[in-house]
Structure 1
Amino acid sequence: MFTGIVEELGEVVRLTDAGGDSAVLAIRGPLVTADARHGDSIAVNGVCLTVVDNTDQVFTADVMGETLRRSSLRALRPGGQVNLERAAVVGGRLGGHLVQGHVDGVATIVSREPADQWEVVRFALPPQLSRYVVEKGSVTVDGVSLTVTTVDAESFGVGLIPATLKLTVLGAKSVGDPVNIEVDVIAKYVEKMLGERHV
Structure 2
Amino acid sequence: MYTGIVQAVRPLLDVAIYPGHRQFTIDLTPELLDELKIGASVSVEGTCLSVTEIHGTQVRFDAMNATLERTNLRCLQAGQGVNIERSAKMNAEVGGHLMAGHIATTAEVVELSIKDTGAFITFRVPPEWAKYVFPRGFLGVNGCSLTVADVDDGVVTINLIPETLRQTTFPRYKAGELLNIEVDHQTMVLVDVVERTLKGTLARQP
Show CA shifts across 1:44-75 (max 9, x none): 00000011111111111121111100000011
**1:122 positional shift:** 0.6
- Give the letter for the 1:23 counterpart: R
TM-score, normalised via structure 1 length: 0.93
TM-score, normalised via structure 2 length: 0.90
Show CA shifts across 1:63-107 (max 9, x none): 111110000001111111000000011101100001110001111
Q: Structure 1 23/86 Cα, relative in aligned 2: closer, same or farther at 3 Å? A: same
**Where do 1:147-158 residues align within 5 Å?**
147-158=147-158
Q: Percent identity?
A: 31
Indicate the larger mover: 168-177 or 127-136.
168-177
For residue 66 of structure 1, give the secondary structure of its aligned residue in structure 2: helix
Aligned to 2:102: 102
State yes or no: 1:130 paired with 2:130: yes
User: Hey, what's the Cα distance between the residues in 1 that align with 2:122 and 2:193?
Assistant: 31
User: Hey, what's the Cα distance between the residues in 1 that align with 2:191 and 2:146?
Assistant: 22
* Matched residues, number: 198
User: Hey, what's the Cα distance between the residues in 2 that align with 1:58 and 1:73?
Assistant: 18
Unpaired runs of 5+ residues, structure 1, are none
Aligned to 1:82: 82
Aligned to 1:32: 32
User: Hey, what's the Cα distance between the residues in 1 that align with 2:17 and 2:27?
Assistant: 18
State yes or no: 1:8 paired with 2:8: yes
Aligned residues of 1:140 and 1:181 also touching (Cα < 8 A)? yes
For residue 110 of structure 1, give the secondary structure of its aligned residue in structure 2: strand
Cα RMSD (Å) of the superposition?
1.5
Aligned to 1:46: 46
